[in-house]
């Protein structure tokens, strides 16, 4: 049998589905629009917003570092305690947030379609004997 006799045309890619890092960036920047926030406050905000689903500490720190290095946020130390970092959004961060605000609704819709399809696919294996 020849390969790709009936190829299916790809209309979208997984790269256009919302990514975890985009969700975190969006949540951080939206929270910072209310003023400066501490690292732990933003982490709690995300966990509360998503009904107990939070972000791995190391991953969250890496995202904050990436936002800082991209110039989207500033960070400052509060006193001598290295854990008391607070963040502020920059003009660049506002532009990045506006870009995400334009793109995210369609990405979220796409992600819902993908996950619904995946959920249906998983159900095919639900009654499978795994012994």
Q: Is residue 7 part of a domain?
A: no
Averaged confidence pLDDT in the chain: 88
**Considering the domain boundaries, does residue 50 fall inside one?**
yes
Burial class (CB in 10 A: 0-12, 13-18, 19+), 5: exposed
Cα–Cα distance measured from residue 27 to residue 46, given in angstroms and rounded to the nearest whole number: 7
In the chain, what percentage of residues exceed pLDDT 90? 63
List the CATH number of the domain containing 108: 1.10.10.10
pLDDT of res. 8: 73
Task: Identify the band that residue 103 occupies on the pLDDT scale cut at 50, 70 and 90.
Answer: very high
Residue-range definition of the domain harbouring residue 48: 18-123
Q: Does residue 5 lie in a domain region?
A: no
Q: Are 121 and 54 in contact (CB under 8 A)?
A: no
The pTM of the full predicted model, rounded to 2 decimals, is 0.83
Angle 37-42-45 from CA coordinates, rounded to 5°: 125
Residue 10 lies in a domain: no
Q: Domain tally for the chain?
A: 1
């Amino acid at each position: 049998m020849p390969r790709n006799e009936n190829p299916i045309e790809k209309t979208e890619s997984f790269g256009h589905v919302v990514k975890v890092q985009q969700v975190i960036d969006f949540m951080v920047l939206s929270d910072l629009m209310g003023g400066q926030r501490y690292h732990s406050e933003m982490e709690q905000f995300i966990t509360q917003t998503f009904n107990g689903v939070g972000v791995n500490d190391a991953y969250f720190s890496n995202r904050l570092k990436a936002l800082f290095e991209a110039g989207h946020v500033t960070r400052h130390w509060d006193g001598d305690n290295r854990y008391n970092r607070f963040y502020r959004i920059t003009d660049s961060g506002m532009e990045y947030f506006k870009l995400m605000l334009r793109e995210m609704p369609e990405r979220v819709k796409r992600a819902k379609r993908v996950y619904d399809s995946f959920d249906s696919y998983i159900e095919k294996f639900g009654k499978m004997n795994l012994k």
